[in-house]
Structure formats: C-alpha cells, structure tokens
C-alpha cells in the first residue's frame, strides 16, 4: 500500500507538470493555465476544513460546508455535462443556453446541501471519503451515459455533430481526474489515522465512545493495548450484563 500511495503521488505530479508544460510551450494558452489553476484551487478548498482535522475526531456539519460546496460544484459539472449530452441526443440543443445554467446552479445548491447532510456528524476524513466516493461513482455513471450517446449522435449527418456529447464526456473525465488529487491525500491521511492512538489498527476508524470492543467500520475486534488507550480514555461505555 505504501508503494502504491507514492506511485499515485508521482503520477499526479507528472499529470500537473505535463499540463503546466503545455501552457509554457504555448499549446494551451491562458485558458489552460486558468483550467489548471482552477482545478488545483478547488481541490485545495475541498480539502480545507475549519477546526482541527489532525484530531481526527467527529466534527460538526457546519465545519464541512466548504468541502460540501466544492463537492457540490463537481457534481453540478457532471450533471451539467450529462444534460448537454442528453439534449443533443434528443435534438434540443437550442434550449441548452437557458436550461444548462439553471441545471448547474440548481444541482450545485442541491448537492452541497446533500453532502452537508450525509457528513454529519462524522470525522473529517470520513466525510471527505464519502463525498469523494460519490463523485467517482457519479463520474463513472455519467460516462456510461454520455459515451454511448456520443456514438449515436456522431453518426448523424451535419456539421459539428457530437459536440454536446463530447463536452459531456469531457465533464465526466474532468471530475474523475479532479478526484485523483483528493484521493491521494485521503490515502496518505488514512495511513496516518491507522497509527493514531484511539483509532482502529485495521481501518483507522475513531473508536471513541463505543460500547463494545469491535470496530463498527470494518468489524475487526480490538484490544485497548492495540489502540494505545485505556477504556476510560476512550470513553468506553460498558454494556449492562
């Protein structure tokens, strides 16, 4: 796992460096620089949270508003790209200038609220993982819909056919690649959490306040010696016999 994490990190650095090299070579222009900067900025904002994430304890949902907003933005990109592709498939491209911005804004707000709700009250890392898994799954489902649509539309006669579906595919791939950076961060931080006192030695789950010596996340039994804390320090609630 350690080698895999470092391999992913190297691939991510090469990906960002490659895009920046294209910008320096003049192949992408200022649009590429803006794209790379925007992608990195949204990734940073997604991983920034108020409070003390190093404590790895459950945090209140309002402390996860910024990650939820960034996750909602990426989900809106997915749904917006899907809307453009499906509208071209249904030959409704003329209405996309009105419909797509409304869909983007509405989905952004809706998914930001959804992510806030599903992340309360959990640890910071678990909240990030939930949002990230939702984005990866959404990207895959979106691509499963837009790629076949592109093949259907591209067979039609006419000029510039398939542009909408190609844009939808681009949106799906963008969110999938965007998730790469936060995903690497999650891999490294989960390894740190596994070594943190008071957390499951198997998966790193926060064991504070449990009533049985079994991790509710992965189901593994544990001893207080393994987690480096006493029952009193963990706030262990002994069940009535």
Q: Is the pTM of this model over 0.85?
A: no
Tell the burial category of 190 from Cβ atoms under 10 Å away from its Cβ (0-12, 13-18, 19+).
Answer: middle
The DSSP secondary-structure symbol of 59 reads -
Which positions of the chain have pLDDT values less than 70?
A: 1-2, 26-28, 49-63, 93-96, 121-123, 192-197, 201-202, 204, 226, 228, 233, 237-241
pLDDT of residue 9: 86
Using CA atoms, how far apart are residues 80 and 171, in angstroms rounded to an integer? 8
- Arithmetic mean of pLDDT over the chain: 81
pLDDT of residue 177: 92
The DSSP-derived string for 172-216 is: HHHHHHHTHHHHHHHHHHHHHHHTSTTB-TTT--B-TT-SSSB-T
pLDDT of residue 8: 85
């Amino acid at each position: 796992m350690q080698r895999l994490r470092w391999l992913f990190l190297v691939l991510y650095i090469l990906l960002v460096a490659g895009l920046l090299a294209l910008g320096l070579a003049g192949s992408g222009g200022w649009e590429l620089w803006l794209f790379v900067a925007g992608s990195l900025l949204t990734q940073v904002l997604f991983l920034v949270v108020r409070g003390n994430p190093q404590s790895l304890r459950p945090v209140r949902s309002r402390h996860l508003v910024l990650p939820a907003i960034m996750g909602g933005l990426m989900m809106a990109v997915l749904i917006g790209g899907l809307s453009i592709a499906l509208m071209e498939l249904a030959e409704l491209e003329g209405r996309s200038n009105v419909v797509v911005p409304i869909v983007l804004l509405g989905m952004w707000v809706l998914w930001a609220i959804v992510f806030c709700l599903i992340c309360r009250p959990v640890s910071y890392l678990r909240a990030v993982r939930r949002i990230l898994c939702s984005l990866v799954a959404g990207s895959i489902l979106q691509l499963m819909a837009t790629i076949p649509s592109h093949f259907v539309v591209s067979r039609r006669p006419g000029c510039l056919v398939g542009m909408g579906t190609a844009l939808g595919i681009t949106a799906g791939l963008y969110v999938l690649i965007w998730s790469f950076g936060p995903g690497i961060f999650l891999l490294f931080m989960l390894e740190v959490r596994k070594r943190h006192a008071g957390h499951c030695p198997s998966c790193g789950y926060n064991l504070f306040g449990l009533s049985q010596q079994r991790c509710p996340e992965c189901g593994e039994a544990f001893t207080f010696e393994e987690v480096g804390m006493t029952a009193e320090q963990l706030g262990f609630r002994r069940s009535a016999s």
